[in-house]
Structure 1
Amino acid sequence: MKKLSVPQIQWSTVRFLRCKLLDIPTAQVLWKRRDGRYKIFKDSITTTMLAAQSKRCAYCGTRLFEKRPHRDHIAPKSPHYRWTFWPANLVLACYCCNVDCKGETDTVAAAASSYRRTTFSIVHPFFDDPADHLNFGVADRAILISPKNGSAKGAETIRLFNLMDPERAKERAKDVLLDDDIQHLQGVTRDLFIAATEELRSNRIVMKT
């Protein structure tokens, strides 16, 4: 998981789409449209975020193999329909994180008049640095994730996305062993990455929950 930059989408397009959002049912219908500015906006989000996220899930960091990866609304369309087409509310996520784990869970802890001032219960991909909320470490040949300094956001992110599930932990181990693009692993220091790689390559991998 890494902190992302908000995609630069043409403001006239965003403003046009936001003006159409009257209520939750309208937002649900408009989001499904595949024509005109709706298609341009969604295609732009996908193209921009695939590059920004290194083709990895914004939440768990696993590779996005889908031809059309899921565009996830960090704050769900229901009840937060006014942010349906807000660039800072959209990331790409794997099926497991988007559907199996998050679903329609409301991640807003306290809504505000603006999106930027809204408080979220999870580590926000654009507003929070994962390194402030999550600890990534190696112990007894295991890759561990834990809340940093008792971070409530860190704990909720780990719980909601089931980040310490054994199968998900194995995927992280495979990344450490096989992948070279470690920029997506913000929150993991380079020294920890090197230590993990050396330890996992020289020992039998044991994943702990």
Structure 2
Amino acid sequence: MIRFKKWALIDANTIATLDKYPVEKRPSRWDGQTKAVKKFKDEVLKQGLAIQEQKCAWCTLNVGTLGRRTAHRDHIAPKAKYPQWTFFAKNLIIACEYCNGFAVKGEINTVSKVEDVYENCIFHVVHPYLDDPSDHLEFLGDSPLSVTIRSRTPKGLWTIDKLQLDTAGATMERAKDRLLEMYMNDLSPAQKGLLKSASDSLGK
């Protein structure tokens, strides 16, 4: 996992509009087409990809055009259970389609203790903004090829288990991404294409 020291900044007028929605209706508004909702979602995605350097916050794999994996706006505390934080930028990160899918994170309850103030909540999951992931998780191996993940705390263990971060598939994909990052800058365009093609074929 990666720690992020900032999150998407949304203009005050947009937030004021979103705050007018009744709390219980905010999850259904998420898929709406109002100007405020679209602007919020667009900014979360655009700024999130830049802040996270096009990496999934959970598994650290490349997303978007860089990784050819769909970038999702993921509610850390699921909006279905915590509608009050549907449009709270600090509750959103960018995740790959696999980590955010129903087979992995989906609507799993990530909150252990709810408080009125979001930052005062206690989370089951290692929180990319509120926690330092290195306190709870570590990657084994020689940097930059440290791709095998291990827990250091119960919170780290919960996160690895529920988000399936230590599977053979996740570990292999991280290794492929790291190799590409190490060598792409030194290769010719033809070599880059060949390496990318070979890397993609490993996952089939």
Q: What is the aligned-residue RMSD (CA, Å)?
A: 2.1
- Extract unaligned runs of 5+ from structure 2: 184-204
Matching residue of 1:91 = 93
> Does residue 1:130 correspond to 2:133, yes or no?
yes
Matching residue of 2:75 = 73
Matching residue of 2:149 = 145
> Does residue 1:47 correspond to 2:51, yes or no?
no
1:108 aligns with one of 89, 99, 111: 111
CA shift in 2, pair 1:68/1:20, >3 Å: farther
SS in 2 for 1:71: strand
Per-residue deviation at 1:147?
1.1
Per-residue deviation at 1:160?
1.2
- Extract unaligned runs of 5+ from structure 1: 182-209
Q: Taking every aligned residue pair, what percent have the same amino acid on both sides?
A: 35
What CA distance in whole angstroms lies between the structure 1 residues aligned with 2:7 and 2:39? 17
Q: What are the residue-to-residue correspondences of 1:164-175 with 2, within 5 Å?
A: 164-175=166-177
SS in 2 for 1:177: helix
**Structure 1, 58-67 or 127-136: larger mean CA deviation:** 58-67
SS in 1 for 2:15: helix
SS in 1 for 2:118: coil
Per-residue deviation at 1:142?
8.2
Output one character per residue of 1:44-64: Cα deviation in whole Å (capped at 9) or x when no partner: 100000101111111101111
CA shift in 2, pair 1:161/1:67, >3 Å: closer
Per-residue deviation at 1:10?
1.4
Count of residue pairs brought into register by the alignment: 176
What CA distance in whole angstroms lies between the structure 2 residues aligned with 1:142 and 1:41? 35
Output one character per residue of 1:110-165: Cα deviation in whole Å (capped at 9) or x when no partner: 000111111110110111111111011128x98421112xx111111111111111
8 Å Cα contact 2:7-2:89 kept in structure 1: yes
What CA distance in whole angstroms lies between the structure 2 residues aligned with 1:161 and 1:169? 13
What CA distance in whole angstroms lies between the structure 1 residues aligned with 2:12 and 2:126? 26
What CA distance in whole angstroms lies between the structure 2 residues aligned with 1:111 and 1:146? 27
Structure with more contact order per residue of length (Cα contacts < 8 Å, sep ≥ 6):
1
What CA distance in whole angstroms lies between the structure 2 residues aligned with 1:45 and 1:33? 15
8 Å Cα contact 1:18-1:82 kept in structure 2: no
Per-residue deviation at 1:68?
5.9
8 Å Cα contact 2:112-2:123 kept in structure 1: yes
Per-residue deviation at 1:67?
8.1
